[in-house]
Amino acid sequence: MGDIKGFIKYKRETPGNEPVETRTSHFKEFVQKSDDDAEKRQSARCMDCGVPFCHSACPLGNLIPNFNHAVYEGKWRKAYNILRQTNNFPEFTGRICPAPCESSCVLGINNNPVSIEYIEKSIIEKAFKNGWVKSKPPKKLTGKQVAVVGSGPAGLAAADQLRKSGHEVTVFERDDKVGGLLRYGIPDFKLEKGIIDRRIEVMEKTGIVFKTNTNIGEDITVDDLQSNYDAVILCGGSTIPRDLNIEGRNAEGIHFAMDFLKQTNKMVAGSKEFQNINVTGKDVVVIGGGDTGSDCIGTSNRFKAKSVTQIEIMSKPPGGRGKKNPWPQWPMILRTTSSHEEGCEREWNILTKKFHKDANGSLTGLEVVEVEWSKGAFGRYQMNEVEGSEKIIPCQAAFLAIGFLHAQKKGMIEDLDVQLDDRGNVDTKNYETSVPGIFAAGDMRRGQSLVVWAISEGREAANAVNDYLGVMTKVKDSKLRSVLAV
């Protein structure tokens, strides 16, 4: 513990953002840079708790007090060595993770938590800047061939771990570039794609092979996949979006949120092969109150939409924790993102009843009604429409951001004939599916989730594959202790 009174002396700080009028004119990251003194002050706020709840809240089990202390001492390389023991891609989690670790920070009981995500990002950026992130091909090869299907965070983490174990690893991606959700689901203003590219370059130099534009089940049969590889990990995402099948759904101008985000990312990357979804000068309504909806808001603002409204069927969350939502639980509170700050009307308890369209079939508005929530006879919440609250929201572009159902079943999953769970996800036991040698990780296995969970899933699935192949790869406690002692 660096400064024993740090959590008393210093307030929580995070880097500022570019002004709204500046950042909405481009698609680049807009978080301003800070200096080492600010980072040292923030790491000094870590209390080195007797029971650091941040560990258990982080799906990766990051050694947060340890790397905080190293940053306080100015030992940045030590901080990086600690962080990379548990997290393959801090540059991703340091940008787009909702930081469940901060929600469980002990300081957060009666103060603002330590800015862990900001410190994590600072560590990895300094590591890349100073050349500490190096490609290290395995010294010993196992002779085993492992295929990873899907190059999102789960697939990348699995591939990275498997290569460290000495396997020959091939990653298959059906899109034109590697990255999955990171590449085409996250806007550049939150994650510039050069951040992905530099990591892929590091991984390629270790010997990992990436094959894009390759759809398993079409370009390569599952029989060929099973014949040519000793083990396979399925890391495709939860890609089937939840639809809103109401009157007028076929109106022109209604899109799934991910189609809009993917188009924009391709456009920013210079591609000319995308669906032409235009929101400039239009009234935009985003249906769904989560992060994907927020990304649509920020993207619409950058395309100069006339207005942006976000509607959510659930009630407006409270501004702070309630008695039934105490620390260290995940806080079910109102969250205002940078995209909301850029311009957006937000409405809660709103049910969409009908899409209105003109004679040409183009969307003109949403017919909505307010709802109330109450507990039913068995304690379950039920929704009731508020009489007389009907209205029409002008809208020429609507985005459905109401979640995902499960992975795509047609093709690879059906051909493999793996067992599915009640929600339609791939069912596993210790990450292995019902088909021997076929494993699954990430959203395809657990359903739509966080990037930090995807990385954790990829790491754990790689461990399961090593067990299946009879390869011992566990890090000895002595090695970890030596890292912490540097």
Write the CATH number for 67: 1.10.1060.10
> What was the pLDDT predicted at 10?
95
Domain end marker among 358, 373, 402: 402
Same domain, 254 and 311: yes
In a domain? residue 1: no
In a domain? residue 140: no
The series of mean pLDDT values per 10 residues for the chain, 486 residues long, is 86 95 98 90 92 94 96 97 98 97 95 96 97 97 98 98 98 97 97 98 98 97 97 96 97 98 96 89 97 98 98 96 92 96 98 98 98 89 96 98 95 97 96 98 96 98 97 52 50
Same domain, 202 and 219: yes
> What was the pLDDT predicted at 475?
44
In a domain? residue 483: no
In a domain? residue 83: yes
Same domain, 10 and 116: yes
Same domain, 225 and 281: no
Domain end marker among 386, 402, 418: 402
DSSP collapsed to 3 states, the chain: CCCCCHHHHCCCCCCCECCHHHHCCCCCCCECCCCHHHHHHHHHCCCCCCCCHHHHHCCCCCCHHHHHHHHHCCCHHHHHHHHHCCCCCHHHHHHHCCCHHHHCCHHHHCCCCCCHHHHHHHHHHHHHHCCCCCCCCCCCCCCCEEEEECCCHHHHHHHHHHHHCCCEEEEECCCCCCCCHHHHCCCCCCCCHHHHHHHHHHHHHCCCEEECCCCECCCECHHHHHHHCCEEEECCCCCEECCCCCECCCCECEEEHHHHHHHHHHHHCCCCCCCCCCCCCCEEEEECCCHHHHHHHHHHHHCCCCEEEEEECCCCCCCCCCCCCCCCCCCCCCCCCHHHHCCCEEEECEEEEEEEECCCCEEEEEEEEEEEEEECCCCCEEEEECCCCCEEEECCEEEECCCEEECCCCCHHHHHCCCECCCCCECCECCECCCCCEEECCHHHHCCCCHHHHHHHHHHHHHHHHHHHCCCCCCCHHHHHHHHHC
Same domain, 278 and 412: no
CB atoms within 10 A of CB 147: 25
Same domain, 254 and 382: yes
In a domain? residue 482: no
Same domain, 36 and 122: yes
In a domain? residue 138: no
Same domain, 108 and 200: no
Same domain, 379 and 412: no
Q: How far apart are CA 182 and CA 175, in angstroms?
A: 12
Write the CATH number for 224: 3.50.50.60
In a domain? residue 195: yes
The range of the structural domain enclosing residue 305 comes to 243-402
Domain end marker among 92, 113, 133: 133
Same domain, 248 and 397: yes
> What was the pLDDT predicted at 283?
98
Same domain, 209 and 318: no
Count up the domains in the chain and report the number: 3
* pTM of the predicted protein model: 0.94
In a domain? residue 484: no
Same domain, 250 and 390: yes
